[in-house]
Amino acid sequence: MQLSAGDTAWVLLCTVLVFVMAPGLALFYGGLVRAKSSLNMMMMTFVAVGIVAILWTLYGFSMSFGDTGNGFFGGFQLAGMGELLNKLASNGGQLPIPALAFSMFQLMFAIITVALISGSIADRAKFSSWALFVAVWITLVYFPVAHWVFDLGGAQAGGTGAGWLANRGILDFAGGTVVEINSGASGLALALIIGRRVGWPKSPMKPHSLPLVLLGAGLLWFGWFGFNAGSALAANQLAATALTNTMLSGCAGLLSWIFVERIRDGHPTSLGAASGVIAGLVAITPACGFVAPWAAIVIGLIAGALCAFTVGLKFRLGFDDSLDVFGVHLVGGVVGCLALGFVATKIANPAGKDGLFYGGGLTVLGVQSLGVVTVLIYSFVVTLAIGWVINKVMGFRVDQEAEVDGIDLDQHLETAYDFSSASGGALGQRTARATHTEVSS
């Protein structure tokens, strides 16, 4: 098969779109936390980009998309990615795009997944401990789960998939299990390990910049088109279907969330609108290439409402998932994955399956449930172990004084906002004191 310039251009464009989600998430999370923590929150995303990209090249792509034949582990035969030079991508046959383009597209999925977890431990994690966590988690959790789920060998088209869940016919177009449930379950586990923020839940810990939150949500939405539509790996009808469903579910999630707020609290909020968009996008991620547009609206409406109610559980149950990674990404991912058991249709994607509403019975729902439960349990348990070990060995959170005074200054010797031009702000004051001490001595 010859290289397709059009498909290659589409995948390269979508790769860049998905990368935009990283700074978008940094802005989204950075606006959600207090001002004294915003730089640290953004840095947690940026360092994840650097670490994951290097490990992906060295062995991550091979672990995720290599094939040892056991269905659980991809091996190291593609380590270093030197074997990908001047080759076409393989997915149950040859795809007319460069293998390196496919690899870089999938790299962006790995980056955003681990970056999402940082929201569960905002305001209180040591930067060095987080960096170590990123390296260990991406190796022990993300790479194996990606191998299990993604349809490496064309199982949905009648071939033999390399991953064991792909072999069983799980439908996950763009990462509802690998990205959303994976990050949500892991975020919950890490939040339990690291503990509550000082003063939570009695002290108000409101977002310091809602404009940043809305801007970040907009960039995430923009990048999500590449995330979902790019998973078609070609500029074709399936990509158009995925893009359409992504738009509709995001809109439905937005409207559903603020409707719940209006009924429950009396006022729709900008934070609710941003959160609703994300909930709708999360839920449509596994389903965007397998459902009709009307079903995308239904999925978004359900996800927006359900996530709006779920985020309040942390106050009742006492776990401090700072930015609601569990309430939005885990719950939204579960909604999207299980919805396929009802509304999946071969009309949208001949390589897919028919759900219950299209005469397919309960078979699809059973396979989807297996994938949801397996990934959830594996991610939660392994992350719990990783977090526990790091916490015991080097400590995972800053001391109480640093947390109260501001983690930005403690971990990075910087502040996001300089409110005093005369004194140079907190960083300027600290520098000035140090200089004065040197001169005096």
pLDDT in tens, 385-418: 999 999 999 999 999 999 999 999 999 999 999 8
Helix (H, G, I), strand (E, B) or coil at 205: coil
Q: Which of 26-30, 46-50, 74-78, 264-268 has the lowest mean pLDDT?
A: 74-78
For 215-249, write each residue's pLDDT tens digit.
999 999 999 999 999 999 999 999 999 999 999 99
CA distance 226 to 246: 10
Cβ neighbours for 302, distance < 8 A, ≥ 6 positions apart = 256, 283, 335, 339
The pLDDT-based confidence of 438 (bands split at 50, 70, 90) is very low
Q: Residues 69-72: contacts with CB within 8 Å, 24+ apart?
A: 69/162, 71/148, 71/161, 71/162, 71/163, 71/164, 71/167, 72/144, 72/147, 72/148, 72/164
pLDDT of residue 294: 98
- If you compute the radius of gyration of the chain from its CA atoms, what whole number of angstroms results? 22
CA distance 300 to 306: 10
Q: What percent of the chain is predicted at pLDDT more than 90?
A: 83
What are residue 88's phi and psi, to 5 degrees?
-90, 155
Mean pLDDT score across all residues of the chain: 91
CA distance 198 to 203: 9
Mean of the pLDDT values across residues 134-152?
Answer: 93
CA distance 122 to 107: 24
CATH number belonging to domain 5-69+78-393 = 1.10.3430.10
Place of tokens 């006492």: 318
Q: Looking at mean pLDDT, say which of 60-64, 283-287, 404-408 comes out highest.
A: 283-287
CA distance 343 to 345: 6
pLDDT of residue 414: 94
For 383-394, write each residue's pLDDT tens digit.
999 999 999 999
Cross-strand partners of 94: 90
Picking from 150, 96, 156, 147, the residue whose alpha carbon sits closest to that of residue 348 is 156
Task: Delimit the domains of the chain by residue range.
Answer: 5-69+78-393, 400-435
Mean of the pLDDT values across residues 94-123?
Answer: 94
Which pTM was predicted?
A: 0.93
pLDDT of residue 157: 36
CA distance 70 to 58: 21
pLDDT of residue 88: 84
pLDDT of residue 423: 47
Mean of the pLDDT values across residues 51-63?
Answer: 96
CA distance 249 to 57: 33
Q: Residues 150-157: contacts with CB within 8 Å, 24+ apart?
A: 150/64, 150/65, 150/106, 150/178, 151/91, 151/92, 152/65, 152/67, 152/91, 152/92, 153/67, 153/91, 153/92, 154/91, 154/92, 154/93, 155/92, 156/351, 156/352, 156/353, 157/92, 157/351
* The two structure tokens encoding residue 337: 């994955």
* The two structure tokens encoding residue 187: 């975020």
pLDDT of residue 91: 55
Instruction: Decide if 408 contacts 38 (C-beta within 8 A).
Output: yes
Is the pLDDT score of 425 beyond 70? no
Is residue 411 classed exposed, middle or buried when 0-12, 13-18 and 19+ CB atoms within 10 A define those classes?
buried
Picking from 221, 206, 224, the residue whose alpha carbon sits closest to that of residue 277 is 221
